Structure 1
Amino acid sequence: MRKLRVLMLGWEDQPILNGGVGKACFHLAEALAKQVELTMIVPQADHSALDHHAEVVGLDELNLAEVKQAPVAKTFERFATTHRVPAALFPYEEPAGQIEPSMDDEDAVINASSADVAAPTVAEEPAKPAVVNFPNGKPQINVTQGARGTLNFEVIQFARYAARLASHKEFDVVYAHDWMTFLAGMEIKIQRKVPLIVHVHSLSFDRQVGEPLGWIYELETKAMNEADMILTVSERTARMITKRYGISAKKVQVVYNGADVVIPEPVTPLERKQVTFLGRLVAQKGPLQFLKVAKQVLKQDPEVTFVVAGHGPQLEEAKQMVRRLGIEDSVTFTGFLAPAKASELLKNSTVFLLPALSEPFGLAAIEATLAGLPVVITHQTGAAEVLPQASVADCNDTAGLAELVLNLLQDTELRKKQVEANQKAVKQLTWGVTADQVMENLHSVLELQDERRSIV
């Protein structure tokens, strides 16, 4: 019996680029490739990572002028001709960097059968892609000189060329991760008449922490309506999809993220009082709330130190808040940390605090648990569903979060009890288990498709 052929669409294949989503896609692809014939299309690829497991295609290394569309009923040729554009791929940074597309240029409009969105004006491209470096570990495809393209345009460009590449390949299902790949997934579904599964790692409502109305929200809505199945990383995200997007709950399945380390460290000894935040410095993860909690803790225990590890658009605002709160001597900013450094930081910490305003899952909380730390998280964090002894409070309850931190710093037995219970739960969260659940859902979608075809 031949293996299932899966075309996976991701935005990166390395786990250190844009945080949790890249990490999740990498480990999930690695686990899935043991069971399926996997082809992965990403904007850029590091072939040392996944090539021995799957075919990985990075658009950055192709001469896009030579990527031609195989004959199909519908193609992306209906809206643009350019093959190379600047692409600064930061899909999880602040919304201010996302410019709404103009509807003035009729030539830029994508046919509504794929998505009700528009592309900026397209310019001619050079014949050969340029060689690029990735500053600070951030991904970029700089194939032309000039101004940075808008993020929506980059997503459209990815969709066009991913669809062209897919037109030359044989596969049974297309599997798209997060909104940046949804447009490509929809077009490939139309072209190849295969089922589309979308995997939601976060939503506009998480990233913008409010009422997002605009291009990305509309793309998410369109894709989830067009998809044959939606996978989510938590029950919290599943509820948000049904409530905020009007999607039937029957179409949504929860598949929790896995852990890339299955052997947990012993409970961290209380040699110091250090509370750590690890993640992108964006509003949804609550770095500013972390500092407010720090201020409350320091009022009762001035010996506690706080570490903020990560980079992001709120870094400068966070540094200003530290000065305003008068806690400069107790707070350290490390900037971006590579995985080994991040692991070392966790092992030298005492408590992990993620006061997220809206976090679909929160892989960092799992990593902290495996490092032997008790975790303080919010009711707005999906990881609370899989960590039975996490200390949990509302994201806006600064005093309550501070009290939870202080309790863990003061009570050794409480820390040990929580860590051991959470580590026991995390042992069941392997990427292999996650991949098995994804496989079950892929097969169920294909079986349903076969039943429909037999009726016709």
Structure 2
Amino acid sequence: MLTYLYKIPLPVHHKDEKSKMKKLRVLMLGWEDQPILNGGVGKACFHLAEAMAKQVELTMIVPQADHIALDQHAEVVGLNSLDLTEVKQAPIAKTFERFATTHRVPAALFPYEDPNVYYTGGAQEEEVELDEETVSSLENTAAPTEAPKAAETTFSDGKPEIKIVSGAKGTMNFEVIQFARYAARLASHKQIDVVYAHDWMTFLAGMEIKTQLKVPLVVHVHSLSFDRQVGEPLGWVYELENKALHEADMILTVSERTARMISKRYGVSAKKIKVIYNGADRVAPSAVTSTKRKQVTFLGRLVAQKGPLQFLKVAKQVLKKDPEVRFVVAGHGPQYEEAQQMMRRLGIEDAVTFTGFLPPAQAEALLKNSSVFCLPALSEPFGLAALEATQAGLPVVITHQTGAAEVLPEASVADCNDTEGLAEHILQLLQDKTLRKKQVEANQRAVQKLTWESTADQIMESLHHVLLLQEQN
């Protein structure tokens, strides 16, 4: 791995020196209202905020999602009889208020939607004009729609806080502009040292706050247009990413693969890119799972970049040599119907089960009852599910296009288009108990070193480094 290309020499502090350092005031622009809707990235943002709050004065600004949006993004389409209330209501322990000052703004931001067909909640859209200043940071932006009406309460100091939104929803680009507007309004009443923004939905807000408060901007890239569109991206999301990556004072990425892509595809200097791998939940690793059931599982959103269609092609190859193997596709997403059609076209419907969305507890139970985890991703910046599968005692089969391959030393890896190679890995792991044990135990040792606390420490060093550079300039 070309790790040295993206390493930034950061100041080294002894424990006593750290205790004397100024406690940073960090404004974090988060991903979702509660970490239950958007898979790995929402989970990563939550755990990073939780760990960082022990070291900084942390303020969170996150989008507010309404019940219609929650229903849409937690659709249960499979065989399981799940109660949607499990999805709508996150437990108290999983809310940001537990460790950070949290403000919500009226924008229903769901990062994996197609901006051109964004959810409208059934409301009639009306086109209105926005002033040039509002949209100056976006190029090729489609006409937004009427702004939702927001009810305001007050801070203890009498300043406005946005809490409730009602009315029509617009296109995704409008929601991003809404988020930027209100986030900047909230930030104007804060004293912060650095703004820390996660992925393209929050980049416009981050740039606006940087300009307004004259503080450095650190962006954390979990996914790029090149990943989500699996090809050559066009349109305003790519333009927004490109502008933000150049405007940012530092870029954090979840893998070397993403760092190289930013440098190559966006023309950003590698000197301001730092790789910081995601952490993993602190859980005791499970024993190596059994192969009695011969069950291979895919767990994730059903979107092109994660390769659910590839998974079915791999299943077809496996079944040619071992018809007793069963396959589970767990998750929801825009490729659900297409995946079912492909399953029938391949003639493997008797061997494949679609579960729909699974809450965390059920997803964990599924993994522990499986034999092999397979993520044949076409372009996956990291892939937290591969780490979760490892902790559950599964050997993992992933692609060279998956960032998690950089941290799982014994994962079985093949190219995303090599369905026969991926199938051979699966068959080998189902047949060779010694290989299964060796792979799982080695990967579990590696995962135990990846904690959210260590990830947060690296982020903290990066934030201090950015402020140091600002002082020097």
Above 0.5 in TM-score?
Answer: yes
Cα distance in 1, alignment partners of residues 378 and 353 from structure 2: 22
Amino acid at match of 1:6: V
Which structure 1 segments of 5+ residues have no match? 61-86, 130-140
Separation in structure 1 between the aligned mates of residue 302 and residue 339 of structure 2, nearest angstrom: 9
Matches within 5 A, 1:170-249: 170-249=191-270
Partner of residue 376, structure 1: 397
Q: Is structure 2 residue 352 aligned with structure 1 residue 306?
A: no
- Is 1:54 equivalent to 2:100 in the alignment? yes
Q: 1:38 matched to which residue of 2?
A: 58
**Partner Cα separation in structure 1 for residue 390 and residue 456 of structure 2:** 22
Query: What secondary structure does 2:302 align onto?
Result: coil
Structure 1 residues 268 and 346: alpha-carbon distance in aligned structure 2, compared to 1, 3 A threshold: same
SS of 2:110's partner is coil
Match of residue 132 from structure 2: 109
Q: Which of 424, 428, 432 matches 2:445?
A: 424
Instruction: Give the deviation of 1:320 after TM superposition.
Output: 0.8
Q: 2:285 aligns with which of 264, 286, 291?
A: 264
1:320 aligns with 2:366: no
Render the CA deviation track for 1:275-319: whole Å, top value 9, x for unaligned: 000000000000000000000100100100000000000000111
Contact 2:64-2:108 within 8 A present in 1 as well: no
- Give the corresponding residue for 1:144: 166
Deviations 1:45-77 (A, max 9, x none): 8775222311111225xxxxxxxxxxxxxxxxx
Pairs within 5 Å for 1:11-90: 11-44=31-64, 49-60=95-106, 87-90=107-110
Report if aligned partners of 2:400, 2:414 keep a CA contact under 8 Å in 1: yes
Moved over 2 A (4+): 44-48, 87-90, 93-99, 104-129, 141-146
Q: Closer, same or farther in 2 for the Cα pair 1:312/1:246, shift >3 Å? A: same
Deviations 1:5-60 (A, max 9, x none): 10000121432211111010000100000111100000138775222311111225
1:255–1:126 CA distance, 2 compared to 1 (3 A): closer
User: Structure 1 CA distance, aligned partners of 2:221 and 2:231?
Assistant: 18
CA distance in 2, matches of 1:416, 1:94: 41
- Give the superposition deviation at 1:91: 1.6
How far residue 437 of structure 1 moved from its aligned partner, in angstroms, is 0.4
**8 A contact 1:109–1:119 mirrored in 2:** no
Question: 2:25 matched to which residue of 1?
Answer: 5
Q: Secondary structure at the match of 2:380?
A: coil
Percent of aligned positions that are identical: 75
Displacement of 1:124: 6.0
Task: Specify the alignment match of 1:444 in structure 2.
Answer: 465
Per the TM alignment, residue 143 of structure 1 is displaced from its structure 2 partner at its CA by 3.2
1:382-415 Cα deviation digits (max 9, x unpaired): 0000000000000000101000000000100000
Matched position secondary structure for 1:302: coil
Evaluate the alpha carbon distance shift between residue 121 and residue 276 of structure 1 in structure 2; reply closer, same or farther with a 3 A threshold. Answer: closer
- Cα deviations by residue, 1:243-287 (Å, 9 ceiling, x for unpaired): 000000001000000001342111112221000000000000000
Q: Following the alignment from structure 1 to structure 2, what is the Cα–Cα distance between the partners of residues 126 and 218?
A: 28
Could you say if the C-alpha distance between residues 328 and 4 of structure 1 is closer, same or farther in structure 2, counting changes exceeding 3 Å? Answer: same
1:376–1:405 contact (8 Å) kept in structure 2: yes
Q: CA deviation at 1:358?
A: 0.2
The 3-state SS of whatever aligns with 2:166 is coil
Give aligned pairs, total: 410
Q: Secondary structure at the match of 1:171?
A: coil
Aligned partners of 1:374 and 1:390 also within 8 Å:
yes
Structure 2 CA distance for partners of 1:123 and 1:149, relative to 1, 3 Å: closer
Asked if residue 364 in structure 1 is aligned to residue 408 in structure 2, the reply is: no
Whether 1:387 aligns to 2:408 is yes
Higher RCO (C-alpha under 8 Å, 6+ residues apart): 2
Gap regions ≥5 residues in structure 2: 1-19, 66-89, 120-126, 153-162
Q: Does the CA-based 8 Å contact 2:254-2:276 persist in structure 1?
A: yes
**Counterpart Cα distance in 1 of 2:442 and 2:149:** 57
Once the two structures are TM-superposed, the CA of residue 113 in structure 1 deviates from its matched residue by: 6.4
Query: Is this contact kept in 2: 1:279–1:310, CA < 8 A?
Result: yes
